[in-house]
Amino acid sequence: MMDGIIKQKRIQGGEATTDLILSAYQANNADVFPKILSLHVPIGSTVADVTYGKGVFWRNVSEEHYKVLPTDIQTGIDCRNLPYEDGSIDCVVLDPPYMEGLLREKVEHRGALGSHVAFRQAYQAKSHNGHPESAQPKWHAAVLDLYVQAGREAYRILRKDGVLIVKCQDEVSANKQWLTHVEIINEYAYMGFYTKDLFVVMRTNKPGVSRIKRQKHARKNHSYFLVFVKIR
């Protein structure tokens, strides 16, 4: 007691539980994505999935929970130039090709694996926006440039405090380690995004290669979901 004032003991609410959403899972994207939505995107939100593809992320999400606007390059809508008004969307989902092998100019050098086969030709290194091909970024720089341009467009259409969910993966390109998720976080911070959460998704099968002489880097067997909030 001090000066006649009795200090009350703080009583916290809630209850003990182990039923929590975690930051890392060995699972498929379709299993992890609903957990991210339940934690960060209120039911009833308008969600623009701008690289929808076959809708893999949404397989375990109730159609009644969100108003989903599915678009991708195959339907003629580029994630860098979206047909939505400024500040009109609650949440944007972005999952572009995140391996430079999908963006190489020569067909014989291009990758064609994973969930990004449908986007390969549309997003490959080529002339766009009126600039000559020689002026465009190549290799890993092309991957980051795609994320940056798509991030700016997502920022434009998101309302204040809107959520941007980004799928990405680090990579080794030209025998150099690129921490893509760190680069994206830094670039998006400049735009006005706050990195609210990060989820690690480990693949459920074991990766392999067709041939190798000597391994120089750890083989990537995980990817990320990054959750950003538009704060200004």
pLDDT, tens only, 15-48: 899 999 999 999 999 999 999 999 999 999 999 9
Mean pLDDT over all residues of the chain? 84
> pLDDT at position 135, please?
47
pLDDT above 90 for 110 = no
Q: What is the pLDDT, as a whole number, of residue 177?
A: 83
Angle CA(226)–CA(228)–CA(232) in degrees, nearest 5?
160
CA–CA distance, 63 with 36 (Å, rounded to integer):
16
> Cα(73)–Cα(1) distance, rounded to whole angstroms?
68
State the pLDDT at residue 134.
41
In sequence order, what are the residues at sequence separation of 6 or more whose Cβ sits closer than 8 angstroms to the Cβ of residue 43?
A: 65, 66
Over residues 165-187, the mean pLDDT reads 91
Q: What are phi and psi of 85, to 5 degrees?
A: -75, 160
CATH class belonging to 24-205+216-230: alpha beta
pTM, 2 dp: 0.80
In the structure, what pLDDT confidence band is assigned to residue 128 with cuts at 50, 70 and 90? very low
Q: pLDDT tens across 49-104, in order?
A: 999 999 999 999 999 999 999 999 888 999 999 999 999 999 999 999 865 444 44
pLDDT in tens, 201-231: 999 988 777 777 888 888 888 999 999 999 9
pLDDT at 69: 98
